[in-house]
Amino acid sequence: MITDAQVERWLREDIGHHDVTNRVPGETTGRLVAKEGGVAAGLEAARAVFDYLGVDVFEACEPGSRIEPGDEVLRVAGATREVLRGERVAVNLVGHASGIATRTRRAVDEARTESDDVRIAATRKTTPGLRGLEKRAVVAGGGDTHRLDSSHMVMVKDNHVAELGLEDAVSRFRERASFATKIEVEVESPEDAPRAVEAGADVVLLDNMTPAGTRRGVELLAETDALVEASGGIRFETVADYAATGVDVISMGSLTHSAPALDLSFRTGEEAA
């Protein structure tokens, strides 16, 4: 849910305290147009911005829909001053989110060449203050949000193992977590995967392994109920190789932290007609 407080912060950051350029009288229309192909996302954020400013949003494409150059993504009408005030924030949000959705869809498409079941997931490598926007964009692209924050699932990482040891770390967090909270354990070698399950892991993360090492980890866990996730350095060029190993989840931080914004243009007045 996007709150008024979030929108206020976005607008305050962009407009500042002495806005002169947007003080234009009258009424106008505006439309957001794609300049390149991709997958649309972030429309709910743009709508929230214009709603806050009292600008009517009367057409918008569906999140997750494919768009081509020249396609209209969003159409608005209202006081010229308010349309102009919301323009740049809306374009930035939709462009950023659509870039993430487009990148996610590409990864999903690559994975589907080898597996119809593997999930492409995001990570917590998100921009502070924009995680909700970015995670929704991943979903729009056909991906999985993974955990939204560190309270959604216990993840035992290498630093925890270094400090506590694998078994003691799992035991410690299991005692403190709700019965409804899953525990995921990160391992750096296939041979440690069964050890993680024996310690109580619900999900095993095979971290920074080659496709061959990942396949070995999946084989060692074949007789267990644990979900298997692959992560670490996975690129578009190797997504299909990892999907072919039989893992349940492929997580990619690059979906959010390395996605270029989709190129969009906002046009007002007669141009918007």
**Which strands make up the sheet holding 72-79, listed edge to edge?**
56-60, 72-79, 27-34, 264-268
Other C-beta atoms closer than 10 Å to the C-beta of 26 total 8
The two tokens of residue 4 are 């008024």
Cα separation of 244 and 238, whole Å? 10
Structural contact between residues 193 and 217, judged by C-beta atoms closer than 8 angstroms: yes
Cα separation of 257 and 10, whole Å? 20
- In degrees, rounded to 5, the angle at the alpha carbon of residue 196 between the alpha carbons of residues 169 and 220 is 170
Q: What is the DSSP letter of 61?
A: P
Cα separation of 38 and 35, whole Å? 10
Contacts of residue 123, Cβ cutoff 8 Å, sequence gap at least 6: 146, 231, 251, 252, 253, 255, 256
The two tokens of residue 194 are 């069964």
Q: Which one of 35, 125, 135, 157 is the catalytic residue? A: 125
Residue 148 has phi, psi (to 5 degrees) of: -80, -30
Cα separation of 57 and 224, whole Å? 51
| DSSP bridge pairs for 156 | 185
Cα separation of 63 and 44, whole Å? 8
Let me know if 125 is a catalytic residue. yes
Positions marked active-site: 125
